[in-house]
Amino acid sequence: MEEYIVETKSSDLTPLFVGREACEPGHNFGPYIREYYIVHFCLSGKVVLKNKHGLHEVSPGQLFVIRPGEITTYTADKKDPWEYVWVAFRSDEVYFGGSVSVFDTPSGLDDKLIALLSKEPLSREGCYSVIYDLIYRTAEHDDLDAGDERIRRIRRYVKYNYMLPISVSSIAESFGFNRMYLYRAFKSRYGIGIKEYITEVRMQKAAKFLKDGFSVKESAHMVGYTDEFNFSKTYKSRYGISPSKVKQ
């Protein structure tokens, strides 16, 4: 097996590693949970992917996607084990958001990845090219609708505007959603309510600010709280410790 770490700069989409392997008959991998996206391109042979959507037979000319947080297992065929290449990346965006796990490989994309593996040192630009090409050319098969796209934009909006006086009502109005629909749609996609997500982002940032030496009042202000008492109460509820007792 060959695998190469990709050196890259910070980005909303970060390539992690690419690789290639020819498996032994019946080779099993999993069950595992990953914290990043990984896409496997089947070059030859056969493999069976198991995830929450069931069992999926994968053949040459196909690829399968593993999403962050998914429990997956894949098993090489006993008579015709697969050979494959893969690319892994981390992103704050949500890709391959539907239930589809197996796609036909876009023409030439696996060859592009193989060519990338043959270069030394590994090209960061080449990795980005493969990943963006993959996302763009499989997007038409995904079952995201226009509403889902707005939900993704809202999540990104919260991430970068947590310090502002945003609320569920103001976000719903800005993005053209009914408040209850926004709650249901956001929770369906991310497993957490929009209000809870805003609090989660703010508390994570506040924890960092406090450890960096900012005061409780300063940290509260920097994550969008005008009421220091309310901030302290929320922080303690989440972390079990008063923000004033956080060790720097």
Asked whether the bond before 25 is cis by omega within 30 degrees of 0, the reply is no
Of 147, 143, 145, residue with least CA distance to 176: 147
- In the three-class reduction of DSSP (H, G, I as helix; E, B as strand; rest coil), residue 178 is classed as coil
For 115-153, write each residue's pLDDT tens digit.
888 877 777 888 888 888 888 777 654 444 445 677 888
Asked whether the bond before 121 is cis by omega within 30 degrees of 0, the reply is yes
- What are the structure tokens assigned to 75, written together? 């098993």
Among 31-35, 40-44, 50-54, 244-248, the range scoring the smallest mean pLDDT is 244-248
pTM score over 0.85: no
Say what the pLDDT of residue 108 is.
86
Domains along the sequence of the chain with CATH: 2-141 (2.60.120.280), 146-245 (1.10.10.60)
Asked whether the bond before 60 is cis by omega within 30 degrees of 0, the reply is no
> What mean pLDDT is reported for the chain?
86
For 45-64, write each residue's pLDDT tens digit.
999 999 988 899 999 999 99
Say what the pLDDT of residue 2 is.
58
Say what the pLDDT of residue 248 is.
56
**What ranges make up the beta strands (E) of 45-157?**
47-51, 54-58, 62-66, 71-76, 83-91, 102-104
- In the three-class reduction of DSSP (H, G, I as helix; E, B as strand; rest coil), residue 71 is classed as strand
